[in-house]
Amino acid sequence: MKTISLFLALALATNVVAQQIQKLNIPEKLPNDLELIDEIQHFRVTTTHYNGDIFGNFYNKQQICGDYTRGLEGGKVKWNNVSFSQSNSPDRNAKFPSPSPVAYMENFTYLPNEDMLKAEKFEAFTEYADFTKNLVWDMLGIEGFAWAYFDKLQLNLPYAVEGMNGKVDLAGQGYFENKDIQLTWTGVSERNNENCAVIEYRTLNNPLEIKTESLEMKGRSHYWGTIWVSLEDKQIEHAVLFEDVVMELLFPGATQKQLMDATREITFKRII
């Protein structure tokens, strides 16, 4: 009797799962007529850097956070409440010390386009500039991955984004070269009570080079992540990015270069 009951329970569970999958009605291709309803939306962006040697030994970690608003008049975006903190604790769950506010980022407003790679756009950036510039550039990248090729993506088929490959000038201080960006739409999931297209992105072995008064750096980057794009209004509901950078550093006055590994974990969390 127990065996029969178990069989019936398994059959019922299988039928429920099948019905749920059928309800999703996932198409083979994302809709090409879905338009972005670019209303005001807010994100909390958190970037954590973990620094160490190439053998996995920990040095220190830094964290920069900020509130990002898009959908402003004229398509502009804005940053507020940006802060920076540093810790020598290797414990990933340990809280960072009280952060330092970054005053020049308060109400920093701009159009999110290629002009934000020019040096003159960052003339007011002083302390923590390497971190705050990346806030701007990371959002440009995430939004580009989410929208620029949306109607080209087919279920579980990697799409080579040739139009985003190539060298990117880093505000006159060096370059980053995207070698082979791949986007893959992997299915549908729910975020913030909305059905979303789940888009994965990755690119490996990307050269980068930076030269400033305080540092010369040359290395390579792997980065990858996931974006949840609403199938109702095309807004980004959530995104994550992970990056691993192996680099060779030369500091002023030093005679030998130093090898270092840095990883970044970034969360773009929609503020409801």
* Domains of the chain with bracketed CATH: 35-271 (2.30.230)
Dump pLDDT digits (tens) for 117-145.
Answer: 999 999 999 999 999 999 999 999 999 99
Residue 104 has pLDDT above 60, yes or no: yes
What pLDDT sits at residue 174? 95
Instruction: Specify whether the backbone of 162 is left (phi greater than 0), alpha (psi in -120 to 50) or beta.
Output: alpha
Q: What percent of the chain has pLDDT over 90?
A: 83
As given in the structure block, the two tokens for residue 270 are 């929609």
pLDDT band at 11 (very low <50, low <70, confident <90, very high): low
**CA-to-CA distance for 237 and 226, rounded, in angstroms?**
11
C-alpha–C-alpha distance, residues 180 and 183, integer Å: 10
Beta strand residue intervals within the chain, DSSP E: 41-52, 58-70, 77-87, 100-101, 108-110, 159-160, 166-169, 174-178, 182-191, 194-211, 216-230, 236-250, 258-271
Q: What is the pLDDT of residue 28?
A: 80
| Tokens 């799962």 belong to residue | 17
pLDDT attached to residue 5 = 62
Structure confidence at residue 213 (pLDDT): 82
The answer to whether 199 and 214 have CB atoms below 8 angstroms apart is: no
φ and ψ of 159, to 5 deg: -115, 120
Whole-model pTM?
0.88
Q: What mean pLDDT do residues 97-113 have? A: 97
Q: Does 60 score more than 90 pLDDT?
A: yes
pLDDT at residue 177, as a whole number: 97
Whether 164 shows a pLDDT value over 70: the answer reads: yes
Judged against a pLDDT cut of 60, whether residue 92 lies above it is answered with: yes
* 253 torsion bin: left (phi>0), alpha (psi -120 to 50), beta (else): left
* Mean residue pLDDT across the chain: 92
Q: What is the average per-residue pLDDT within 48-54? A: 96
Give the mean pLDDT of 41-58.
Answer: 96
**pLDDT for res 21:** 47
Mean pLDDT of the region 91-106: 94
Question: Cα 15 vs. chain centroid, distance in angstroms?
Answer: 38
Number of H helices, E strands in the chain: 2, 13
Measured distance CA(269)–CA(68) in Å, rounded: 10
E strand segments, 88-157:
100-101, 108-110
> What's 32's DSSP letter?
S
pLDDT band at 17 (very low <50, low <70, confident <90, very high): very low
Torsion of CA 48, 54, 55, 56, to 10 degrees: 0
